[in-house]
Amino acid sequence: MCAQAASLDTSRYPHRHLLGISGLTAEEITFLLDISDSYVDINRRDRKKLDLLEGRTVINLFFESSTRTRTSFELAAKRLGADVINMSVSTSSIKKGETLIDTAMTLNAMHPDVLVVRHSDSGAVSLLSEKVNCAVINGGDGSHEHPTQALLDALTIRRRLGKIAGLTVAICGDILHSRVARSNIHLLTALGARVRLIAPPTLMPGKIERLGVEAFTDMREGLKGVDIVMMLRLQTERMQGSYVPSIREYFRFFGLDREKMSVANPDALVMHPGPMNRGVEIDSELADDISRSLIRDQVEMGVAVRMACLDLLTRSLRGAFEAEGADAGGEVGG
Ligand code: ASP
């Protein structure tokens, strides 16, 4: 077993699942980031495979399409030695609630250790977690939360700038429909960053200041002196009706380009969770500028963060089963 195995104190993350960042303490978030950090180095080695999850089964259950998140979880689980099944479930012909619970019960009967779930409805992953015996990781639920995205964003920032506390981070674009924004607001404020949200009034949620952020409807105002600019995709799949006059207008006022970046801190860095719409929310050349853009680092950090989450949650499961077995004075499950 590797050195990490001996040193992980699972009592520092006393949760069975990872459903969101909201509700986690700064210490729990930092613990997850510290474990993730050690996986970055492992992923840069020639031989990346570990046996920590040997004999474990991870199911990626995606009710909504995904390329990077699903691939990232799959790679993370395989690098830890788990058996991985990918399931893409269409919700078109059956009532969504029924599909979700039925599928959860069916999969539960096959004894997976971890379910990674993405669903278009906010709250669906949490509901599912109540019906199964395994650990559940939220791979994105509607416009609610995408916890591993916020963790990978934080790891990317922390590795580049050495800290999160005291930084000013602007999150820009379609805040209203973005689970990435919500998870990042919770995480960044918990770790002591100042968060600004910048969006057209139609894409800014009401009373958002309650989450401890500042809201702006003008990019040049909101970007003044920021250290990090996180751009968001226009989530057209969640829009009913028209929220922006035209793509051209949107890019003119809310698309990130060098001219708008000029009011930010001179060393300010650019992030984007992907998939990116070049020329809609971000200028293509800026997105590819490796001196300003952290977008590739974010993808790399994603695998490390997901390895850390899978590692930690399966250890916690083992701990719980061992305790159950010990209490019963009999066999140990798991
Ligand atoms: N990939 C992110 C998500 O699943 C961001 C996006 O889709 O725009 O929420």
Ligand 1 centroid – CA 180 distance (Å)? 7
Residue 319, pLDDT score? 63
Report d(CA 125, CA 282) in Å as an integer: 31
Q: Is the CB of 146 under 6 A from ligand 1?
A: yes
Best mutation site among 138, 146, 276, 280 for ligand 1 pocket (most ligand atoms within 8 Å of CB): 146
Q: Is the CB of 273 under 6 A from ligand 1?
A: yes
Ligand 1 centroid – CA 51 distance (Å)? 30
Ligand 1 centroid – CA 66 distance (Å)? 8
Ligand 1 centroid – CA 275 distance (Å)? 7
User: If you take atom 8 of ligand 1, which residue's CA is the nearest one?
Assistant: 233
Look up tokens 């993350």; give the residue. Answer: 13
Report d(CA 199, CA 202) in Å as an integer: 8
Q: Closest ligand 1 atom to the C-alpha of 180? A: 9
Residue 317, pLDDT score? 74
pLDDT digit of tens for each residue in the chain (334 aa)?
A: 444 555 789 999 999 999 999 999 999 999 999 999 999 999 999 999 999 999 999 999 999 989 999 999 999 999 999 999 999 887 544 555 667 888 889 899 999 999 999 999 999 999 999 999 999 999 999 999 999 999 999 999 999 999 999 999 999 999 999 999 999 999 999 999 999 999 999 999 999 999 999 999 999 999 999 999 999 999 888 887 788 888 999 999 999 999 999 999 999 999 999 999 999 999 999 999 999 999 999 999 999 999 999 999 999 776 664 555 433 333 322 2
Cα angle for residues 144, 145, 151 (degrees, 5° grid) = 160
Ligand 1 centroid – CA 320 distance (Å)? 33
Q: Are 281 and 254 in contact (CB under 8 A)?
A: yes
- Count CB atoms within 10 A of the CB of residue 26: 14
Q: Is the CB of 70 under 6 A from ligand 1?
A: no
For the entire predicted model, the pTM comes to 0.93
Q: Is the CB of 179 under 6 A from ligand 1?
A: yes
Q: Is the CB of 119 under 6 A from ligand 1?
A: no
Q: Is the CB of 233 under 6 A from ligand 1?
A: yes
User: If you take atom 4 of ligand 1, which residue's CA is the nearest one?
Assistant: 140
Ligand 1 centroid – CA 334 distance (Å)? 33
